[in-house]
Structure 1
Amino acid sequence: MVGLDTSHAVSFTRLLHDERHPHHVPGGRVVCAWPGGSSDFELSISRVGRFTREMAETFGAEIVASPEEVAERCDAVMLLAADGRTHPGLFRRIAPYGKPVFIDKPLAVSSRDAEEILRLAERHRVPVMSCSSLRFALGPERWAGGGVDSATAPRASGSPASDGSGPARSAGRTSADGDAAAEEASIYGADDAVTGADVFGPMPFQPPQPGYFWYGIHAVEMLYAVFGPGCAEVSAIAAGDHELIVGVWADGRIGTVRGNRTGSGAFGALIHHGDRRDLVEPPADYMLLYAALLGRVLELFRTGRPAVAPHETFEIIRFLEAANESRAADGKIVRLGRREL
């Protein structure tokens, strides 16, 4: 592990090491870690010492002197540093070792930094994945055309699929998936297509992290789990303790993200189909979500294949960046543009 200034370091290690834990994820152990920490980020520097001691004393992780030593000694690396600003520099130090890397959300706090990370990964042939555990909070395979993971999929109200009879229709990906979408339509019917989504969740800000990058990424990942990539433009407005982000996809679908700073910690999504709606809420046990994420991380480490494609992760970073730009400009529409990676 690189970066012990986040509770994720302890939680992830507990799930990997504790065979008695109800959500234990077998297949990996944390053998060494580098603490890190950002002196100008209070939430980082105030916690890194405590989490480092717990990693060493409770889980037996060896604390080493540099990110490079972690990369040299391990089969794979989890870059967990809470400060997204540090991710490009840290990745630059470990990428030459060629080990698979999971980067905890956000991948970066600007599209320029995200592009640098993904270019480095390509140059050094490093399998890389970055996402929030909330991406898996809705049982996203329901919407992406795969089977529902019974360990992580929540119940959906108002959905014929919620009785266990089968997965719902896919989220409707881009035109490259046209053949698969047509095949699914013949199975589920055109009226089952996802036509819109309204995601909600808490959205505190945490300077010096820029705007929506700190907590907005959770709800935005949920939206992308439903829709997939292909957003064309973004706008965002704020009123007191409330935020509203609107994304318009190139195929005409509209997705919204509503955030609050009123004390409500609940996440969820209202997913619209042609003739019905699904209200889907994540399980309350956050360790269950972490376990779902860790399963995908270990799959990346074993196979080199990320559960979330790099181009989609890049688009999410650009989406958040555009939302920040729009919010600062009183809701002006910001086009995402297209960039090949």
Structure 2
Amino acid sequence: MKSSRRSFIKKTTAIGAAASLSSLPFSLLGKTQNNPIKIGIIGLDTSHSPAFTKLFNAENPKPELAGFRVVAAYPYGSKTIQSSMDRIPGYIEQVKELGVEIVDSIETLVQKVDVVLLETNDGKPHLEQARAVFKAKKPVFIDKPVAGSFSDALKIYKEAEAAGVPMFSSSSLRYQKNVHAVRHENKIGKVLACDAFSPATLEPSHPDLFWYGIHGVEILFTAMGPGCESVTRFSTPDSELVVGTWKDGRIGTFRGMRSGKHDYGGTAFGTDGNLFFGPFEGYEPLAIQIADFFRTKKSPIDPQETLEIYAFMEAADESKRRGGVKVRLDSILLS
């Protein structure tokens, strides 16, 4: 099992870009507003679904979002998390008003669309839902959390690769202006450290940080890049502090706030200064990345980095269970 997992994780450039234009049953080239790339949504139990629909189905969308239209949606969605289930009827009505057809199964959905947004707020059914999309050979964006466990996240990426289906997953916080600038525009020179924070409310059915902590952890990894070697976790009744040590000796921290009203952000420290992240800037920057992914079928994020993010969170849980001892990420990635 270790050798199988190790060989998969090393093949980072192949995942998400395995399928060529000619191998898919449609072309994403030359699409216009009159002949758009048809998007299907799985899961109307999250505010992300109507938010993305409004962006793509706008009368005059941003140029980067032009040539797409959300045409169909399968509402479910969590059937066990009450706070998610209760939102489904209202979000059904919202997307119907934007011209979206509601369908009764994922199998029906994939027959009507070119690409898929897997938006189900509950990460537990993502593996089963993604398998139906992979079978249909449709490029797919999977919203956070990519799955309800690291094990399922790894299976999703491996099965996407085996099926030759492009996919990627991300929190919208990765694409805040300053976060993106630190990573891609050398805004503060080499990043020496980062302190990130976000709400970290709990959902008992998910590993601790997977539910909302993912947002702040994704900020941390966007700034620091991959290569975290170990984590140590410290807990109080009101917050969680996870200290990560990178292979080059740099230190990055994530602070998750359990209660109260807290924003998403952090501070990155570089050789040319420091930069503050936050507040949340909405879903449009992520939608633009999704649109580019649907056109090119190339993930903007190395799959190994996404898997490392989930290994970081699972290692943080293990550290907490063991009273705050240091836990190596490779004990998760290669177990």
Render the CA deviation track for 1:153-175: whole Å, top value 9, x for unaligned: xxxxxxxxxxxxxx425xxxxxx
User: What runs of 5+ residues in structure 2 fail to find an aligned partner?
Assistant: 1-40
5 Å matches for 1:141-156?
141-146=180-185
The answer as to whether partners of 2:43 and 2:75 remain within 8 angstroms in 1 is: yes
The correspondence for 2:79, drawn from 33, 39, 47, is: 39
Secondary structure of residue in 1 paired with 2:178: coil
Change (3 A) 1:50 1:280: closer
The answer as to whether partners of 2:56 and 2:65 remain within 8 angstroms in 1 is: yes
TM-score (norm 1): 0.81
Change (3 A) 1:52 1:275: closer
Secondary structure of residue in 2 paired with 1:217: helix
* Letter paired with 1:42: Q
The CA distance in 1 between the partners of 2:235 and 2:179, in whole Å, is: 28
In the alignment, what sits opposite 2:5?
none
Secondary structure of residue in 2 paired with 1:319: helix
* Letter paired with 1:53: E
User: How far does residue 320 in structure 1 lie from its aligned partner after superposition?
Assistant: 1.1
The answer as to whether partners of 2:43 and 2:77 remain within 8 angstroms in 1 is: yes
User: How far does residue 217 in structure 1 lie from its aligned partner after superposition?
Assistant: 0.2
Render the CA deviation track for 1:307-341: whole Å, top value 9, x for unaligned: 1111111111111111112122221211111758x
The correspondence for 2:220, drawn from 220, 223, 243, is: 223
The correspondence for 2:300, drawn from 287, 294, 307, is: 307
Is 1:79 aligned to 2:112, yes or no? no
5 Å matches for 1:251-330?
251-274=248-271, 276-282=273-279, 284-286=280-282, 290-330=283-323
Identity of aligned residues (%): 39
The CA distance in 1 between the partners of 2:119 and 2:271, in whole Å, is: 40
5 Å matches for 1:1-341?
1-19=41-59, 25-56=65-96, 58-146=97-185, 167-169=186-188, 192-274=189-271, 276-282=273-279, 284-286=280-282, 290-337=283-330, 339=333
RMSD of Structure 2 on Structure 1 (CA)? 2.0
* Letter paired with 2:300: A
Secondary structure of residue in 2 paired with 1:305: coil
Change (3 A) 1:302 1:23: closer
User: How far does residue 219 in structure 1 lie from its aligned partner after superposition?
Assistant: 0.3
Secondary structure of residue in 2 paired with 1:245: strand
Render the CA deviation track for 1:275-331: whole Å, top value 9, x for unaligned: 63322323x542xxx110001101111101111111111111111111112122221
* Letter paired with 2:310: I
The CA distance in 1 between the partners of 2:212 and 2:90, in whole Å, is: 23
The answer as to whether partners of 1:110 and 1:318 remain within 8 angstroms in 2 is: no
The CA distance in 2 between the partners of 1:264 and 1:44, in whole Å, is: 20
* Letter paired with 1:337: D
